[in-house]
Structure 1
Amino acid sequence: MNVLPRSWVLRPALALSAALLIVASHTASAVATTDLNLPQLGEPADVNLSPAQEREIGASVAAEIYRENYTLDDLELNDYVNAIGEQLAGASKTKPPPVHLFVVRDPRINAFALPGGFIGLNVGTLMVADNESELAGVLGHELAHITQRHIARSIGEGQAGTIATWLGVIAAIIAGSANPDVVMGALGVGQAINYQRQVSYTRAHEQEADRIGIQTMAAAGFDPRGMADFFEKLAQESRLYGNRVPELLLTHPLSTNRMAEAEARAAELGPIHHQDSLEFGLMQARARVLVADNPADALNFYTRQLAAGRNSLDNRYGMALAQFTMSQIPAALDTLSPLAEQYPKQANVQLLYAQILEQNGHLDTALDVYGKLLQLYPQYAPAMLDYAQALMDANRPDDARQYLISHDQSQGTQPETYRLLAQAARQSNNYPEAAYQMGTYLLTRGDPGSALEQIDAGLRLPGLTPQERARLVAKRAEVRAQMPDRYGGGDGPQS
């Protein structure tokens, strides 16, 4: 089961300062390279930041975001938004680096691009979108910032001093949530106007991201009106709430001219009929339940929706998920069973059905549901990982391990795979393997310090075989190679 706890802890934004020091050091080295007046080979932006440097910077900031638990680590939500990201990336005229989207546990409307292919999407943006084309418009815009390498180009345009601050603001927005004092304190910026100036892309970059983003979303089969419609939604919310400007407008200022240009481009491209997937509404319902301050609030919302006659698939799914989250298992089963029968090939409905069946004591039936679903979608990672968890719940850890290691489509692409492999190893009393896999999991999550602790604990286990010790030592070297200096240089136990 991958339903997460509703609460999350906000830590000071300055916890992200180490990653931002990496940004600053790359910025300084980039400026120094430019000052040497070397010939410009390849892309002009490469002189300022190479693609490898961009990837390292983006990965460092993303790792801090993961480490501080600001993300909504729900397998189905993340798979859904990454599928849209891949669809857009495949239609982009400029081939992007490997794109990785993550969902931020924040109900406000926002999205941001980091260097090197990382895109953060606030869950609130998904919740307020009226259709998939609006969501694709937001993501297409952010993807364009990446493909056009706006951060690297900004350094060449005399803005090198603001790059670290710009990324720092992103971190502070996430860390500070709705508390402006935390944001301002983290940045050391005294005036809100300075804050906005630091985070804003140049007008030319915003226009370019709009133009390329709308072309990309249309090429991917989405309605280009989606971007203009979402702009109108933002403008309306800004008018309604006065000073409570949507976060997206702080980093991407919206003007009347920008809205008009988006509408004109959409008209030039012509209407494209895009049929929203069933998954879009289901993921909106899932997001509403997972980010509710109190699960009872989500339950009350869907109770009212159904009582008002809005008997849609989305509302019934949301009702069942809210009941399940509140451990009202028989009620959840009653709500979802008709949907499971009506939609035998809808993956999200079937996954929730299997989870409810298991919690209701019907583990064998749940395993059958997982098996049928995986026959339909053998590479659907959420189903694969939930199935492995169900095998362990059935006291079959060796079967779970064998299933995970024999399916390459999840191995290495889903950090959760490594966590489950560690769990299966512990359940089988294979503690050296558990230490190895948990260390790998923490490393993929951007936490090499904790990964090293796991590997060192494994190396201290009594009775290690030579093969087990050699494997742990090799993993330890891999972890140490990825550790910034701030973790210290002590080698710790290796024997």
Structure 2
Amino acid sequence: MISQPIQSLISIALSASLCCISPALADSRKLPEIGTVAGTTLTIAQEKQYGDAYMRVLRSHQPVINDPVLNQYINTLGHKLVAHADNVKTPFHFFLIRKREINAFAFFGGYVALHSGLFLHTRSQSELASVMSHEIAHITQRHLARSMEAEAKRSPATIAALVGSLLLTIAAPEAGIAAMTATQAGSVQQRINYTRANEKEADRFGIETLAKAGFDPYAMPRFFGKLAAEYQYASKPPAMLLTHPLPESRITDSRERAQRYAHVDEKPSLAYQLARVRVIVRFTGIKAEAALDWIKRHRPKHPSEISAAFDYGQALVYLDQKKLDEAEAILNRLVQSSPDNSFYLDAMSDLYIDRQHPEKAVHLLAKLLKESPHNQVLAINYANALIKEKKYKDATRILHRYTHDFPDDSNGWSLLSQASALSGDEPEDLAARAEIMAMKADWDQAIQYYTQASQLAKLGSLQQARYDARIDQLIAQREQFLALQE
């Protein structure tokens, strides 16, 4: 459990986490030197540590989407943008939160969260990329670090105390909101004013990144304009407009910025539409009939080049309804047209398993993995198919390598736990479950599972030594995590 800091620190952290505040920088094409802006207190290494802690809290308290196909898509798109951003000092991690409201936010350590609702309101890959490039700029400009340092100078709070408060705010935002009082209104308004300057700064660098990465720079002001028009008279604007204020001056400024770059004649992105349809069908909570109706209504609005995305959406609905003949007819055609498409292969693997023919999925995926050995979607589906085929030892071998390469993917640990349990390897089952707990900052449960695994392992074996070493690591991580809140 997270200890509760004093209320004034909660409110400071809340406003920092929502606003990413700092005074506006000069309107310059050159990014500021990190060492002179936010390096006086927080180091990049500390930011990575804080980011890891925040991510663990989020996994425990927010509906993070653990969908390998969608995660692969947004990370591919995100890293294409990062490759064209300036002043990148940390690795970047992109993930989705299952919420229909429009929002996105960035925090320490290069973490960028996107609400799945963005797929309901963006209409092109460039529009989605514009939101992501804006959040990337918040990180490269170190807005959160700079705002916390400024806050520490204005108050008796230390950076460590602010970080602890921010952890609480992410875990239980209602606690932070409840701590806001009328006496702090002036300070809060000052932070909101700073936020508007920061948002323009992130827009400027975001548009530059967008253009350099080959996306349409006009996508950002276009998306802003649609949001402003849609919620102009709304009594309760979406979270994105609360945390990212959108006055007319900001829309105008982004439009003028975009005009400095050549207009890009953006071709429709099939990958974007596939991801969008997958979100509609699987992560909006609507019924199958409503999903099919959405597909029917939107298909005519799009060019024929991406009609496959709507076919794919129909196949997903049929899979979920167990109408396997209908799903198979569509998927056979899609896979034949694009044999290496991860969206189609993931669905085809599910179809074979639902047909009680996991060996077909194994055969299909094994062949493709030889050509793309680092493809996460293929690897996780392959492991799952091996489990369904009752080849537990083969599955655990694949999953040990997978969890080593992708330790932050809970799908790998979950399948490893399942395969180990089915093969009768209780210690490895416990170890995998421990890693899932550690990903959610449940250190005590993680340590308990590893302790049980060590007790079950052969005395003096390498397996027991590995478990004991991991227990020591988790204890150290727990102490570091708790120290952030003190």
Alignment TM-score, normalising by the size of structure 1: 0.81
1:103 to 96, 113, 117: 96
Match of 1:447 in 2: 442
Offset from partner CA, 1:338-380 (integer Å, 9 cap, x none): 2222332322112201211221122222222223432443321
Once residues 309 and 249 of structure 1 are traced to their aligned partners in structure 2, the CA distance between those partners, rounded to angstroms, is 28
Q: Which amino acid aligns with 1:132?
A: Q
Q: Which letter does structure 2 place at the counterpart of 1:141?
A: H
Distance in 1 (alpha carbons) for counterparts of 2:277 and 2:172: 25
**1:250 corresponds to which residue?**
242
Counterpart contact for 2:64–2:95, Cα < 8 Å: yes
Distance 1:454 1:200 in 2: 48
CA distance in 2, matches of 1:390, 1:82: 24
Contact 2:426–2:453 (Cα < 8 Å) also in 1: yes
Letter in 1 for 2:117: G
Question: Do structure 1's residue 126 and structure 2's residue 119 form an aligned pair?
Answer: yes
* Deviation string, structure 1 residues 392-420 (Cα, Å, up to 9, x no partner): 11011111222334568844353432333
d(CA) in 2 for partners of 1:420 and 1:119?
A: 26
CA distance in 2, matches of 1:417, 1:436: 12
Q: 1:444 to 1:272 in 2, by over 3 A?
A: same
From 123, 148, 151, the counterpart of 2:141: 148
Distance (Å, rounded) in 2 between the aligned partners of 1:296 and 1:219: 40
Which of residues 235, 252, 261 in structure 2 aligns to 1:260? 252
Secondary structure of the structure 2 residue equivalent to 1:120: strand
Give the Cα separation in 1 of the matches to 2:394 and 2:90: 36
CA-to-partner distance for each residue in 1:277-307, whole Å, 9 max, x for gaps? 3211011011112223243354443564489
Amino acid at match of 1:283: A
Query: Which one-letter code corresponds to 1:52 in the other structure?
Result: A
Among candidates 65, 70, 79, match of residue 72 of structure 1: 65
Closer, same or farther in 2 for the Cα pair 1:331/1:197, shift >3 Å?
Answer: farther
Amino acid at match of 1:248: M
* Structure 2 equivalent of residue 482 of structure 1: 477
Q: How many residues are matched?
A: 454
Q: Among residues 203, 222, 243, which one is paired with 1:229 in the alignment?
A: 222
Change in Cα spacing, 1:52 to 1:380, as seen in structure 2 (3 Å) is same
RMSD across aligned C-alpha pairs, in angstroms?
A: 3.6
CA contact (8 A) 2:104 2:131 kept: yes
CA distance in 2, matches of 1:321, 1:20: 48
Q: Does structure 2 retain, via aligned residues, the 8 Å contact 1:89–1:96? A: no
SS across alignment from 1:71:
coil
User: SS of 1:339's equivalent?
Assistant: helix
Deviation for aligned residue 1:192? 12
SS of the counterpart of 1:268? coil
1:201–1:251 CA contact under 8 A, matched in 2: no
The separation in 2 between residues aligned to 1:356 and 1:254, in whole angstroms, is 45
Tell me which residue corresponds to 2:422. Answer: 427
Instruction: Give the match's secondary structure for 2:109.
Output: coil
Structure 1 364/245 Cα, relative in aligned 2: closer, same or farther at 3 Å? same
Residue number in structure 2 paired with 1:295: 287
Out of 335, 338, 342, which is 1:343 matched to? 338
2:35 partner SS: coil
Give the AA of the match of 2:60.
R
1:130-155: CA deviation from partner (whole Å, max 9, x where unpaired): 11111111111111111011122223
- Please give the alpha-carbon distance, in whole angstroms, between the structure 1 residues aligned to 2:254 and 2:301: 36
C-alpha change, 1:288 and 1:167, in structure 2 (3 Å) is farther
The CA deviation at 1:156 is: 4.2
CA drift of 1:212 comes to: 0.6
Shift of 1:321: 1.1
AA aligned opposite 2:352:
L
Contact 1:388 1:403 survives alignment (8 Å): yes
Q: Which amino acid aligns with 1:147?
A: T
Counterparts of 1:170 and 1:111, CA distance in 2: 18
Contact kept? 1:329, 1:356, Cα under 8 Å: yes
Give the letter aligned to residue 349 of structure 1: Y
In structure 2, relative to structure 1, the CA distance for the partners of 1:419 and 1:228 (3 Å cut) is same
**1:299-338 matches, cutoff 5 A:** 299-302=291-294, 304-305=296-297, 312-338=307-333
Q: Is residue 220 from structure 1 mapped to residue 200 from structure 2 by the alignment?
A: no
Instruction: Check the 8 A contact 1:108/1:122 in 2, yes or no.
Output: yes
Tell me by how many angstroms 1:169 deviates: 8.4
Task: State the shift of 1:274 in Å.
Answer: 3.8
Contact 2:195 2:244 in 1 (8 A): no
* Greater shift in the superposed pair: 268-277 or 450-459: 268-277
Structure 1 contact 442–448 (Cα < 8 Å) conserved: yes
Change in 2 beyond 3 A, CA 1:155/1:464:
same
Q: What's the offset of the Cα at 1:201?
A: 5.0
How far the C-alpha of 1:173 sits from its partner, in A, is 8.3
How far apart, in 1, do the equivalents of 2:299 and 2:126 lie? Answer: 29
Letter in 2 for 1:268: R
| Other-structure match for 1:402 | 397
Q: Is the 8 A contact 1:67 1:445 kept in 2?
A: yes
Question: Hey, what's the Cα distance between the residues in 2 that align with 1:62 and 1:414?
Answer: 12
Contact 1:317 1:336 in 2 (8 A): yes
- Write out per-residue CA displacement over residues 299-346 of structure 1, whole angstroms, 9 at most, x where no aligned residue: 443564489798822222112112222333333223433222233232
Structure 1: distance between partners of 2:236 and 2:426: 51
CA distance in 1, matches of 2:234, 2:178: 25
- Go from structure 1 to structure 2 and tell me whether the alpha carbon gap of 1:411 and 1:204 turns closer, same or farther (over 3 Å shift): closer
Q: Which secondary structure does the structure 2 equivalent of 1:60 belong to?
A: helix
Report how far residue 196 of structure 1 moved. Answer: 7.7
Structure 1 portions without partners, runs of 5+: 1-14, 28-39, 177-181, 489-495
Flag the structure with more relative contact order, 1 or 2, with Cα contacts below 8 A and sequence separation at least 6: 2
Q: Which moved more, 1:334-343 or 1:105-114?
A: 334-343
* Alpha carbons 1:112, 1:121 under 8 Å: kept: yes
For 1:269, the equivalent position in structure 2 comes to: 261
Given that 2:69 and 2:342 are in contact with CA atoms closer than 8 Å, whether structure 1 keeps it comes out as no
* Distance of aligned partners of 1:338 and 1:45 in 2 relative to their CA distance in 1, 3 Å threshold: same
Question: What's the offset of the Cα at 1:457?
Answer: 2.1
Gaps of 5+ in 2: 14-32
**TM-score, normalisation: structure 2:** 0.82
Do structure 1's residue 83 and structure 2's residue 83 form an aligned pair?
Answer: no
Partners of 1:19 and 1:55 lie apart in 2 by 22
